[in-house]
Structure formats: structure tokens, C-alpha cells
Amino acid sequence: MVDLVIGNATVVTMNATREVLRDAEIVIQGNRIVKVGPASGRKTGVRRYFDARGKVVLPGLIHGHLHACQTLCRNHADGLELLDWLRERIWPFEAAHDAASMRASADLTFLECIKSGATAVLDMGSVRHYEQVFSSARDAGLRLVGGKCLMDAGQGVPRGLRETTESAITESLKLIDAWHGTENGRLTYALAPRFVLSCTEDLLRRVQALAVERGVRIHTHASENPTDCDVVREKTGFDNVSYFHHLGLLGAHTTLAHCVWLTAEEQRLLRETHTCVTHCPSANLKLASGTAKIPELMGQGITVAIGADGAACNNNLDIWVEMRLAALLHKPRCGPTSMGAMQVLEMATLHGAKALGLEGQVGAIAEGYKADLTMVELSGAHVTPVADDVVSTLVYATQSRDVTDVIIDGTAVMRDRRGADARRARGARGREDARHAGARLADVMQCTPSCRTSPPSKCSTWPATSVPNAPSMASPSRSGPEKWWACWAPTAPARPPPCACSRGC
Ligand SMILES: [Zn+2]
């Protein structure tokens, strides 16, 4: 008796020869694929049978970089570049999270992921409440590689996000012990230093040692924005990737999001250390960060996954949008044959698996692989007529609304477009919670920067901390690297403008 047979399917296997099988059958036992081949018509001795006539089955799609903690900030952080976006919107927002709002944010995130056909994500959390993200993924049935973000340094970080080096490591260890490898291996941990500017050198060295000791991944941001790169150079004397190499963090166990601004030397380091990169085209466009040289990186054999980043800088988490953008974005510079459809689908499957440390386990439909599958119905006007090259149709024309079924670890978490919402409602507190938590956090976003930088006042959410020995704030310039250090000036304006939030700041 086998658990599940998917019959009469067009199967995009992403196996070694990139076979696309017609009228094929996938047999699943437990959480594993045990057979892929021509349809046998077998329906006896089968617990469940899915007729996939008219559908395409592909490996479950993989987000290589996500922030479930930021989803309730969707549509509340537009029109800013990276460092201002973090300082003025995202950090205050993350600092205001409590356990309930974090759970609601993660629930909403994973619901959107599943409904759009993503089965696995590499997620970077906020500093606190990451257990809520794990419990949300556990209940949603999603495959999660993630961890709390680490921030033991940085000017202008709200008090709610500051932590000592010791607590950053201690809290990470607690989460590793509680969650790594749980749910039959569906949930695994990744150490997630936010970026160079928020971490001491001591913390980064300890992260590397801990990653080796506990066998977990490292996930961080690198070279996202030119100002970020300038300040890192000023602070460390290195470019981002070179600094990570200097500290020993590069390697196949590390995934760096963005990598928009890389020197030739940094590209060489990525290639020689087999470090993984995640391309986030929507986020790079919306934050005006730039266009990563993805064709050049992939041309050197570097693993490049794809990710939506966060709903606060995207503003959705639709991996089909990211695939289409990745396929289109580089063509004006590199020519119409660059970033072909198969190459882009590899980013969202095989390369995604590597970026999550799951190579050989997910990312392809082959015997022995875990049963993470996405099924799409290609019958809508926007995909008709379907090309002989079905991969082209998938990457250029298919949308998330075409996803009908999602199977993760052998379990159908969405069947005929049903199930994902109910699963979320059962496991969490439902849609209302997301609305309430979103409203509360949106109110927080009304606080003015002056409110946040004032000495302790009626606003108790986040009086900013000043950092001893911070780089010079002599220049009040709002452009260039000084801007970063000049923010959150310790001296509040004499007459701060009134805050618009409802707490009477
Ligand atoms: Zn990010």
C-alpha cells in the first residue's frame, strides 16, 4: 500500500538531465518519492490518488531569502533606501513586535508562500520571538530553515532590538536545541547575523565556530546597497564579502542575500569557497539598491537562489514574480538569451535547495527525494497557448493563482486550492489576529524619528540607545556614509514635532 500516487501528470523533474515527462506518475511513500515514471494507471493499493491531468507538477519552489517577521509591515515602508528604510521603518517596527504579532506575521507569510507554491524558505527573523516563527511553520506544514537575527552592534538600533554578544549566542543555542531537526527534519536552524554593521567582530567569529560545532547554516546580508558597502569599508577596512572571508564565514554552509555590489575579488572568493548567494530582484529594485550581476555569478558556477526578501520591501512574497523578474531584469544588459527559463527555474529549485543546505533532498522530483511538490493548472487565458517548452511557460507566464496543489514532506497542505487557510486558522489565531497586530504595528509606524530619539519620554517603546565609541557624527550630511552614523543623534531637537501615534508620545 503506497500513500499517494499523482497520475497523468506533466512532470518537470529538474533531475540531472532536466527531463520533462508527459503522462507520468509520481509515487510517494511517507515523505519520500519512491518512483517517477510513465503512468501505470494503478489506483489499487493506493491510499490517495491525485489525477493531475492538465496539470504540471514541479519541485516545490524555494525562497532563498525571506523575513517572515516583516510581513505585517507590508505597504508601510515605501520610498526609502536601505539604511533609511531600516532605521526609520523596519527596526522600530520589529522592536514593537510581541509574541502574538510575530505569530500573526509568520502565519500570514507562510500562508502566502504555500498558496503561491513555495514549499521551503530560508528565513531571517527579528531579534526576539523566533520560536513563534518556528511554531507557525510547524503548524502550516512548511519547510523552514531559519533563525533569529543577531544584532550586538550598530548605531541607532532601538532598545528592543539590542542584545549583547553573549545573549545573541545564548538565545541562538536555546533555539537550536528546541527546534533544529524537529518535525522529521522539516525545521532546521540557521544562524543569522543581520549584516556587518549590526554585528561585532567577536559575534561573527563566534557564529562561525557555532555553525561548525552544531552543523547549522549561516544566513546573512551582504553588499546590498552602495552606502552599506561604503560604511562597511570605513568600519572594517574590507569589502563585505572579503570581511566575511577574513573572519572565516564563507563556505558552502553560508548563504548571502543580495550581493549586488561585488568586486572581482569578492566574486572570486564566492566561487572558490562555494558560498551561496540569493538574488532578490524585487527588493533590489524597490529599495533602489541596484542590479546584481547574476549572469556573471552563475556563469562562474556560483550557486544563486532566488527570494522575495520581505513584504516590507517587495511588497509581496510571490516567487513567480521573482522568477519572471530574474528572467527579464538582466536581458537589456546581457542579451535576450541570458537568464533562460530553465536557468531561472534552477534558481528556484536546485540552487534554492543548496542555499538551504538541502541539496539532494529537495529541489528535484526523483526517487529518494523528499516529496515537496507544486502543481499548477495551465488553463488560464494568460498562459494559453502553453509552449512545447513548458518551462518557458512556467517562468514567463505562470502566476501564483495557477497553483492548485502543494505537497510538503509527503503531506498535501493545499489540495485543489483548499486547505492552506484552514490549516493556518487551526494552527494559529486566524486572520483577525493578523489584522489587529497589523493595526497595532502600523500605529507604531506613525511615531516620528524625533519621538524615537528623545531621551526617555512618554513613548516607552523604543528610546534609542547611544553607542560608545561610535564613528564620528561630525558631519550632519544626509548623503553618503555619514548619514548612517548621523542618524539617531543623541541630542534630540529642542522642539520635536508632535508624534502621530496613539500613545501620546
Ligand atoms: Zn533581507
Q: Look at residue 124 and tell me if it is in a domain.
A: yes
33 alpha carbon to ligand 1 midpoint, in Å? 32
Residue with cell 537589456: 332
Q: For residue 472, name the pLDDT band (cuts at 50, 70, 90).
A: very low
According to DSSP, the residues that pair with 189 across neighbouring strands are: 146
Q: Look at residue 273 and tell me if it is in a domain.
A: yes
Residue 446: CB atoms within 10 A of its CB come to: 14
380 alpha carbon to ligand 1 midpoint, in Å? 33
Are residues 351 and 460 located together in one domain of the fold? no
pLDDT at 501 over 90: no
Q: For residue 445, name the pLDDT band (cuts at 50, 70, 90).
A: low
User: What pLDDT shows up at residue 426?
Assistant: 54
322 alpha carbon to ligand 1 midpoint, in Å? 14
User: What pLDDT shows up at residue 199?
Assistant: 97
Q: Look at residue 439 and tell me if it is in a domain.
A: no
201 alpha carbon to ligand 1 midpoint, in Å? 20
Are residues 340 and 480 located together in one domain of the fold? no
Q: 10 with 390: CB under 8 angstroms?
A: yes
Are residues 355 and 473 located together in one domain of the fold? no
Most confident of the ranges 38-52, 143-157, 165-179: 165-179
- Judged on CB neighbours under 10 Å (0-12, 13-18, 19+), 32 is middle
Are residues 109 and 230 located together in one domain of the fold? yes
219 alpha carbon to ligand 1 midpoint, in Å? 10
433 alpha carbon to ligand 1 midpoint, in Å? 24
Are residues 357 and 452 located together in one domain of the fold? no
Residue that is last in its domain, among 322, 341, 361: 361
383 alpha carbon to ligand 1 midpoint, in Å? 31
How many helices, marked H, and strands, marked E, lie in the chain?
Answer: 21, 17
Average of per-residue pLDDT across 91-97: 91
Instruction: Name which residue leads in pLDDT, 444 or 218.
Output: 218
239 alpha carbon to ligand 1 midpoint, in Å? 19
Instruction: Name which residue leads in pLDDT, 370 or 483.
Output: 370
Interval 327-369: pLDDT, tens = 999 999 999 999 999 999 999 999 999 999 999 999 999 999 9
* Phi-psi domain of 237 (left: phi exceeds 0; alpha: psi -120 through 50; beta: other): left
Of 279-293, 444-458, 482-496, minimum mean pLDDT range: 482-496
Q: Residue 185 and residue 390: Cα distance in Å, rounded? A: 32
Instruction: Name which residue leads in pLDDT, 487 or 114.
Output: 114
280 alpha carbon to ligand 1 midpoint, in Å? 9
462 alpha carbon to ligand 1 midpoint, in Å? 22
Helix axes 430-444, 99-115, angle to 10 degrees: 120
Distances (CA, A) of 147 to 82, 178, 456: 21, 12, 31
Q: Residues whose CB is under 5 A from ligand 1 (ion)?
A: 309
458 alpha carbon to ligand 1 midpoint, in Å? 32
Work out whether strand 254-258 and strand 217-222 pair parallel, antiparallel, or are unpaired.
parallel
Q: Which of 305, 382, 361, 322 is nearest to 117 (CA)?
A: 322
Are residues 313 and 454 located together in one domain of the fold? no
67 alpha carbon to ligand 1 midpoint, in Å? 6
Of 91-95, 306-310, 440-444, minimum mean pLDDT range: 440-444
pLDDT at 489 over 50: no
What percent of the chain has a predicted confidence (pLDDT) above 90?
A: 77
Q: For residue 429, name the pLDDT band (cuts at 50, 70, 90).
A: low
User: What pLDDT shows up at residue 455?
Assistant: 32
What percent of the chain has a predicted confidence (pLDDT) above 70?
A: 84
**Residue 211 in 3-state DSSP?**
helix
Residue that is last in its domain, among 299, 327, 361: 361
83 alpha carbon to ligand 1 midpoint, in Å? 12
C-alpha cell at 157: 538600533
220 alpha carbon to ligand 1 midpoint, in Å? 8
**Residue 349 in 3-state DSSP?**
coil
Q: Residue 147 and residue 237: Cα distance in Å, rounded? A: 28
pLDDT at 325 over 60: yes
Are residues 346 and 477 located together in one domain of the fold? no
Interval 252-279: pLDDT, tens = 999 999 999 999 999 999 999 999 999 9
77 alpha carbon to ligand 1 midpoint, in Å? 14
DSSP state of 52: -
Largest CA distance in the chain: 79
Are residues 221 and 330 located together in one domain of the fold? yes
Interval 360-407: pLDDT, tens = 999 999 999 999 999 999 999 999 999 899 999 999 999 999 999 999
Q: 424 with 132: CB under 8 angstroms?
A: no
223 alpha carbon to ligand 1 midpoint, in Å? 11
Q: Look at residue 409 and tell me if it is in a domain.
A: no
Q: Residue 210 and residue 173: Cα distance in Å, rounded? A: 9
User: What pLDDT shows up at residue 421?
Assistant: 63
User: What pLDDT shows up at residue 452?
Assistant: 45
User: What pLDDT shows up at residue 466?
Assistant: 34
User: Strands, DSSP E only, in 315-442?
Assistant: 373-377, 403-408, 411-414
Q: Look at residue 47 and tell me if it is in a domain.
A: no
pLDDT at 39 over 90: no
Q: What is the mean pLDDT of the chain?
A: 87
Are residues 76 and 192 located together in one domain of the fold? yes
368 alpha carbon to ligand 1 midpoint, in Å? 32
Interval 47-60: pLDDT, tens = 999 999 999 999 99
138 alpha carbon to ligand 1 midpoint, in Å? 22
Total structural domains within the chain: 2
65 alpha carbon to ligand 1 midpoint, in Å? 6
Residue 455: CB atoms within 10 A of its CB come to: 9
409 alpha carbon to ligand 1 midpoint, in Å? 26
pLDDT at 446 over 90: no
Q: Residue 421 and residue 383: Cα distance in Å, rounded? A: 26
Q: Residue 379 and residue 163: Cα distance in Å, rounded? A: 52
Are residues 262 and 116 located together in one domain of the fold? yes
Residue that is last in its domain, among 310, 326, 361: 361
User: What pLDDT shows up at residue 503?
Assistant: 54
386 alpha carbon to ligand 1 midpoint, in Å? 34
Q: Look at residue 130 and tell me if it is in a domain.
A: yes
C-alpha cell at 470: 561610535
Q: Look at residue 209 and tell me if it is in a domain.
A: yes
Residue 504: CB atoms within 10 A of its CB come to: 9
Q: What CATH number is associated with residue 293?
A: 3.20.20.140
Q: Look at residue 438 and tell me if it is in a domain.
A: no
Q: 260 with 236: CB under 8 angstroms?
A: no
Question: How many Cα atoms are found within 13 Å in the side-chain-facing hemisphere of 263?
Answer: 12
Determine the residue type at 74: R
310 alpha carbon to ligand 1 midpoint, in Å? 6
Instruction: Name which residue leads in pLDDT, 455 or 24.
Output: 24
253 alpha carbon to ligand 1 midpoint, in Å? 18
431 alpha carbon to ligand 1 midpoint, in Å? 25
Average of per-residue pLDDT across 104-121: 96
493 alpha carbon to ligand 1 midpoint, in Å? 32
pLDDT at 456 over 60: no
Are residues 239 and 344 located together in one domain of the fold? yes
361 alpha carbon to ligand 1 midpoint, in Å? 25
112 alpha carbon to ligand 1 midpoint, in Å? 17
163 alpha carbon to ligand 1 midpoint, in Å? 19
Q: Which of 174, 115, 20, 87 is nearest to 445 (CA)?
A: 87
Are residues 159 and 267 located together in one domain of the fold? yes
Q: Which of 118, 23, 125 is nearest to 61 (CA)?
A: 118
30 alpha carbon to ligand 1 midpoint, in Å? 34
Q: Which of 288, 290, 293, 287 is nearest to 266 (CA)?
A: 293
309 alpha carbon to ligand 1 midpoint, in Å? 5
User: What pLDDT shows up at residue 462?
Assistant: 32
Q: Residue 180 and residue 173: Cα distance in Å, rounded? A: 10
User: What pLDDT shows up at residue 437?
Assistant: 72
C-alpha cell at 330: 538582466
466 alpha carbon to ligand 1 midpoint, in Å? 25
416 alpha carbon to ligand 1 midpoint, in Å? 32
pLDDT at 231 over 80: yes
Q: Residue 241 and residue 375: Cα distance in Å, rounded? A: 37
List the domain range (segments joined by +) for residue 285: 61-361
Contacts of 268 (CB under 8 A, 6+ apart): none
Average of per-residue pLDDT across 187-216: 97
